[in-house]
Amino acid sequence: MTDIAVHQPIVLIFDGDCSFCTSCVDFLADNLPAMPAAVPYQRADLSGYGISEAEAEARVWLVTPDRHYSGAGAVSALLRHQPEPALRFVGWLLQTPPLSWLADAGYAVVSPLRHILPGGTPACRR
């Protein structure tokens, strides 16, 4: 397979070896009206996005032409880029303290435990 180059205006970069992560991305693709290209970091041109492999292993990334979002911030930004006002509203709420603190804490708990979550595999373990 070839590397994915930086040609998409918005791209979601995730751990393609993690079944839990892949299941989450599949859920978003099935349920969001405006899902960007979703690329496993293992196939992405990470240096072209300015993301290290360690950063890509640690958290999901949403890369836009203006900014890089990671972790819970990537989910919030993804929702803020939706055409439906209700989804954008939830995205704005998730970036506002104290909800942003809760979202970041939740992401910090779930991310290292993803190998034991439904759909998780030993490849998800760090």
pLDDT digits (tens, 9 = 90+) for 92-106: 999 999 999 999 999
Residue from 32, 38, 41, 37 nearest 80 by CA: 32
CB 117 within 8 A of CB 20: yes
Q: Where are the domains of the chain?
A: 11-119
What is the C-alpha separation between 116 and 71, in angstroms, rounded?
19
pLDDT digits (tens, 9 = 90+) for 19-57: 889 999 999 999 999 999 999 999 999 999 999 999 999
What is the C-alpha separation between 3 and 53, in angstroms, rounded?
14
By three-state DSSP, how is residue 90 classified?
helix
pLDDT digits (tens, 9 = 90+) for 57-92: 999 999 999 999 999 999 999 999 999 999 999 999
The model's pTM: 0.86
CB 5 within 8 A of CB 48: yes
What is the C-alpha separation between 104 and 118, in angstroms, rounded?
21
